[in-house]
C-alpha cells in the first residue's frame, strides 16, 4: 500500500537499542537495520546487502560496523563499504541509508526524500523527557491490523468505557462534551465531563478518590500516526484542590498493510518518584493494550480484510469525527506526496 514517506516514523525506543546495540524492523515495508554509530549516534540502513541482498542483520554487527554474513563485505554504519575482500570497495557497494534521529527517547527514521528530513519536524512529544524517568514507562506491541485502525482506536477514546472498563474507562468519556479542532500541523480532540466518575487510573490519583470529578481528556494527532493523550481531572469545580494528569503517547508505525508496530509511553505529573506505582501502571496498560485492544483490533481487521474501510460504509457517529478528519487529512497528505513524486520522478 502507499504510505506517507516524507515524515518521521518512530522505529523503536532508544532503550531497545541500548539493550542490544542494534535491531532490525520493517517500517512501511522497508526493512531497516537500526544500530549505533561509533560516535554513539544512531543510523538506519536498508537491511539488505547491496551485493546479493542477504539481510545485513544476519551478519556480524560490532563497533559501528556490519560484516555481511554471506560474503564478508564490511560496511560502516552510514552505509559506506569499508572492506570488500573480493575486490575494490566500489560505490555500488553502498547500503542505502535513511535519516535517523533520536528524540523523546525514541528513534525516528525518515524513509522519504532524504533532503527533506529535518529533526525539527519530529512531533513535539517533549513531555516524555520532561517527565522524571521514575514516572514514565515505555511499551511496544505488534498488532496484526492496519495502522489506521490502530489510530482510529485512540481517536475515539470512548472505546475505553467499553473495552477497558476497569482501568481506563468507566463511562465519563462517553458522557463527555466532545470537540474536534483542526490545526495546520495537528488535529486536536477534547473531551470534558463535568462532575463525573473519573476513570480508575485517574481516580486513584485524585485528592478524594470515589468522588465526583471534572474529567478532561485530550488527544492530539500528528501525521501520520503519532498521538499524545492527556487525561486529567480534579474534584468537581475545585481545580485548586489538586489536578493530577496522566499522559499517554501512542505511536502506530505501519510495518505493512496488515501489521503495526504499536509504541506507547505513559507518564504523570504526580507521585513522580513512585516507581512502584509506575510499574503497576505498566502492568495495567499492557493488560489493556495487549489483552484488550490488540485482540479487538485484529478481529476488526479480519472483518475489514483488504477492502477500503470507507468503502464498507461505516455508520459514522459524532465520536468518529476525529477518525474521519484524520483519515481525510492523511489521505490528502499521501495524495499530495504521490502527485509531487509524479512531477519529479527519481
Residues that bind a copy of itself (CB under 8 A): 31, 47-48, 50-55, 58, 67-72, 84-87, 90, 92-93, 152, 156, 158-159, 161-163, 174, 295-296, 299-300, 302-304, 309, 312, 314-320
Q: Which does 163 bind (CB under 5 to 8 A by kind): ligand FES, a copy of itself, none?
A: a copy of itself
List CB contacts of 224: < 8 A, sequence separation 6 or more: 3, 4, 7, 9, 147, 254, 330, 333
For ligand FES, the binding residue among 14, 26, 41, 51 (CB under 6 A) is 51
* Nearest Cα residue to 216 out of 188, 196, 186: 196
Q: Count interface residues toward ligand FES (CB under 6 A).
A: 8
Pick between residue 11 and residue 73 the one whose CB is nearest to ligand FES: 73
Burial class of 266 by CB neighbour count within 10 A (0 to 12, 13 to 18, 19+): buried
CA distances 240 to 199, 201, 235, 243, 305, Å, are 20, 20, 9, 7, 50
Q: How far is the CB of 73 from a copy of itself (least distance, A)?
A: 9
Q: Which does 296 bind (CB under 5 to 8 A by kind): a copy of itself, ligand FES, none?
A: a copy of itself
Q: Cell numbers 495495567 correspond to what residue?
A: 284
80 lies in the site for ligand FES, by CB under 6 A: no
309 lies in the site for ligand FES, by CB under 6 A: no
Task: Choose one: 46-54, 211-219, 245-253, 276-284; the region binding ligand FES (CB under 6 A).
Answer: 46-54
Three-state secondary-structure class, residue 331: helix
Q: How far is the CB of 241 from a copy of itself (least distance, A)?
A: 30
Which strands make up the sheet holding 226-235, listed edge to edge?
137-143, 259-268, 245-256, 226-235, 213-222, 187-196, 177-182
Pick between residue 16 and residue 156 the one whose CB is nearest to a copy of itself: 156
154 lies in the site for ligand FES, by CB under 6 A: no
List CB contacts of 26: < 8 A, sequence separation 6 or more: 32, 255, 256
Amino acid at each position: 500500500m502507499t504510505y506517507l514517506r516524507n515524515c518521521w516514523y518512530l522505529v523503536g525506543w532508544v532503550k531497545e537499542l541500548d539493550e542490544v546495540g542494534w535491531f532490525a524492523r520493517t517500517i512501511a515495508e522497508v526493512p531497516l537495520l537500526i544500530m549505533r554509530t561509533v560516535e554513539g549516534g544512531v543510523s538506519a540502513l536498508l537491511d539488505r546487502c547491496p551485493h546479493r541482498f542477504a539481510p545485513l542483520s544476519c551478519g556480524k554487527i560490532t563497533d559501528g560496523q556490519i560484516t555481511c554474513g554471506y560474503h564478508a563485505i564490511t560496511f560502516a554504519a552510514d552505509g559506506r563499504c569499508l572492506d570488500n575482500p573480493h575486490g575494490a570497495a566500489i560505490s555500488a557497494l553502498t547500503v542505502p541509508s535513511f535519516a535517523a534521529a533520536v528524540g523523546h527517547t525514541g528513534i525516528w527514521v525518515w524513509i522519504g526524500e532524504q533532503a527533506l528530513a529535518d529533526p525539527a519536524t519530529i512531533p513535539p512529544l517533549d513531555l516524555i523527557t520532561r517527565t522524571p524517568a521514575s514516572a514514565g514507562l515505555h511499551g511496544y506491541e505488534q498488532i496484526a491490523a492496519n495502522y489506521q485502525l490502530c489510530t482510529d482506536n485512540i481517536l475515539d477514546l470512548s472505546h475505553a468505557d467499553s473495552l477497558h472498563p476497569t482501568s481506563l474507562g468507566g463511562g465519563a468519556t462517553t458522557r463527555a462534551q466532545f470537540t474536534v479542532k483542526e490545526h495546520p500541523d495537528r488535529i486536536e480532540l477534547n473531551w470534558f465531563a463535568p462532575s463525573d466518575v473519573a476513570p480508575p487510573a485517574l481516580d486513584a490519583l485524585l485528592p478524594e478518590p470515589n468522588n465526583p470529578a471534572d474529567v478532561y481528556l485530550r488527544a492530539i494527532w500528528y501525521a501520520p500516526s503519532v498521538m499524545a493523550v492527556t487525561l486529567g481531572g480534579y474534584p468537581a469545580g475545585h481545580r485548586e484542590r489538586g489536578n493530577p494528569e496522566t499522559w499517554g503517547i501512542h505511536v502506530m508505525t505501519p510495518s505493512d498493510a496488515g501489521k503495526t508496530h504499536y509504541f506507547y509511553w505513559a507518564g504523570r505529573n504526580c507521585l513522580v518518584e513512585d516507581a512502584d506505582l509506575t510499574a503497576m501502571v505498566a502492568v495495567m496498560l499492557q493488560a489493556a493494550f495487549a489483552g484488550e485492544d490488540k485482540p479487538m483490533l485484529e478481529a476488526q481487521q479480519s472483518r475489514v480484510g483488504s477492502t477500503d474501510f470507507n468503502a464498507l460504509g461505516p455508520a459514522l457517529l459524532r465520536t468518529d469525527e476525529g477518525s474521519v478528519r484524520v483519515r481525510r487529512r492523511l489521505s490528502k497528505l499521501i495524495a499530495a506526496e504521490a502527485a509531487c513524486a509524479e512531477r519529479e520522478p527519481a
